[in-house]
Structure 1
Amino acid sequence: MLSWMVWTTPVAVFFALVVLMLVGMTVWEVRSPTVERKGFLPISTTRGDRLFIGLMAAAWINLAWVGLGEKMQGWFGLAEAPSVWISAAISALVLLLVMRKG
Structure 2
Amino acid sequence: MDWMAWTWPTAAFFATIATLLVIFTVLAIKFPETPRVGVLRIEATRGDRLFITLLGSAFINLAWLGLVGTAQPAALIVCLLYAAAVFRWV
TM-score > 0.5 by shorter chain = yes
Deviations 1:3-45 (A, max 9, x none): 5447363x44433322221111011001011211011122111
| Structure 1 residue identity aligned to 2:79 | S
TM-score, structure 2 as length reference: 0.82
Distance 1:66 1:3 in 2: 25
For the aligned residue pairs, the C-alpha RMSD in angstroms reads 1.9
Normalized per residue, the structure richer in strand is 2
Unaligned runs of 5+ in 1: 71-80
| Structure 2 residue identity aligned to 1:69 | V
How many residues are matched?
Answer: 90
State the identity as a percent: 38
Match of 1:7 in 2: 7
Distance 1:69 1:5 in 2: 25
Unaligned runs of 5+ in 2: none
